[in-house]
Structure 1
Amino acid sequence: MPPNMHKRILNEIAEANNDKSAETVVYVPHEGDIYKMLGSIQGPRETPYEGGTFLLDIKLHDNHPFAPPEIKFITKVYHPNVSSQTGAICLDVLKSNWSPAMTLRLCLISIQSLLDAPDASSPQDFQVAKVYTSNKQQFIREAKTWTRVHANVSLDAYISSHYEL
């Protein structure tokens, strides 16, 4: 990897970790492999996800930033644009609208924003999208339940239970 690419990735990690207002964290569990990392975002305030900590699996491509990272939820999320089975995320900036100007911090903030503003017209999980469009109150109740049950593990606790430190 070119040294300037390594430096950019390290700068992106630092930027994500230093932005206290966004409440984002990036951690590289495999020392020496900065292409595989974990991320953490907080559920947006005044949403069914408020109070939850959502963990993400992040994989960068060898030609980062010229290809979007592969990001999926580790934490189970009840959301029309997130697969309840795989954690896959349907978000245009992680696919067709990717730009090399995007950073890890901006990716995490975009995912937080997606939690705040579901788009049922482009669902990743059709069942959840159906509930979202037909019965908003049921959707909110279910999303709050999933947040309470699944989004309660901190990144530190996840790391200590899944990786040798």
Structure 2
Amino acid sequence: MIDFARVQKELQECSRDVEKSGIKVTPKSDGCLARLIGTIPGPSGTPYEDGTFQIEITLPEVGTEVLTNLVVNYGFSSCRWHPNISSQSGAICLDILKDQWSPALTLKTALLSVQALLSAPQPDDPQDAVVAQQYLRDYQTFVGTARYWTETFAKTSSLGVEEKVQKLVEMGFPEAQARNALEAVGGDENLALEKLCSG
């Protein structure tokens, strides 16, 4: 069983200072705390700057391990050009998400660690060998490619809320559902569309 009380507490912790940290965690589906979406801003001074990165978080369903191993699987859905993130699956190579997990870590500290990884790639311990080789051999090309991926997949739309709602309504979704979906995913129209399509 998942410790839902702990998850709720951690969601509240993240929402308390979302304006300051930019870090947000919300349930992926209504009422389901086992699958979450984390959002982190790209760090300043990196090719990921000005990007908003979505991270799929899956919590374990395994007995008592929940208290000692809260986060089992993280996958990036919007950052795929980094030596420590698989460009194919979005899997993240970060020790605290694997063998260095501690019950003292929270969802927020784990997301802060992922954000720090964006600032300081570890190409000698890669998740994606092709990206790591590019990082080591041709850093400027790596930076350009990472910026392109950020521009293409992680920039938030410049559309206002009303324009986003209108786009979703034009696709055939009821206005109230479109507004609720946009609110639930922090205004990201792609995630809102995914949420609406998944039911």
Q: TM-score, normalised by structure 1?
A: 0.91
User: Does the 8 A contact of 2:80 with 2:88 survive in 1?
Assistant: no
Deviation at 1:140, TM superposition (A): 0.9
Deviation at 1:65, TM superposition (A): 3.5
* Equivalent runs, 1:146-161 vs 2, <5 Å: 146-153=149-156, 155=185, 156=187, 157-161=189-193
Deviation at 1:141, TM superposition (A): 1.0
User: Does the 8 A contact of 2:54 with 2:76 survive in 1?
Assistant: yes
* Structure 1 residue aligned with 2:114: 111
RMSD in angstroms over aligned alpha carbons?
1.7
5+ long unaligned stretches in structure 1: none
* Structure 2 residue aligned with 1:83: 86
For residues 122 and 190 of structure 2, what CA distance do their matches in structure 1 show?
29
For residues 84 and 135 of structure 1, what CA distance do their matches in structure 2 show?
18
**What per-residue deviation string (whole Å, max 9, x for no partner) do you get for residues 95-119 of structure 1?**
0110011100011100000000000
One of 64, 72, 80 as aligned partner of 2:66: 64
Q: TM-score, normalised by structure 2?
A: 0.76
Secondary structure of 1:35's counterpart equals strand
User: Does the 8 A contact of 1:65 with 1:101 survive in 2?
Assistant: no
For residues 117 and 17 of structure 2, what CA distance do their matches in structure 1 show?
19
Deviation at 1:31, TM superposition (A): 2.6
User: Does the 8 A contact of 1:79 with 1:129 survive in 2?
Assistant: yes
* Structure 2 residue aligned with 1:12: 10
For residues 17 and 136 of structure 1, what CA distance do their matches in structure 2 show?
36
Q: Which has the higher contact order (CA 8 A, sep 6+)?
A: 1
For residues 144 and 31 of structure 2, what CA distance do their matches in structure 1 show?
42
Greater Cα radius of gyration, structure 1 or 2 = 2
For residues 35 and 118 of structure 2, what CA distance do their matches in structure 1 show?
23
Percent pairwise identity: 37
5+ long unaligned stretches in structure 2: 158-184
For residues 83 and 28 of structure 2, what CA distance do their matches in structure 1 show?
29
For residues 133 and 12 of structure 2, what CA distance do their matches in structure 1 show?
39
Deviation at 1:160, TM superposition (A): 1.7
User: Does the 8 A contact of 1:22 with 1:109 survive in 2?
Assistant: no
User: Does the 8 A contact of 1:76 with 1:87 survive in 2?
Assistant: yes
Deviation at 1:138, TM superposition (A): 1.2
Of 92-101 and 146-155, deviating more is 146-155
User: Does the 8 A contact of 1:29 with 1:159 survive in 2?
Assistant: no
For residues 103 and 59 of structure 2, what CA distance do their matches in structure 1 show?
12
Equivalenced residue count is 163
User: Which structure has greater helix proportion?
Assistant: 2
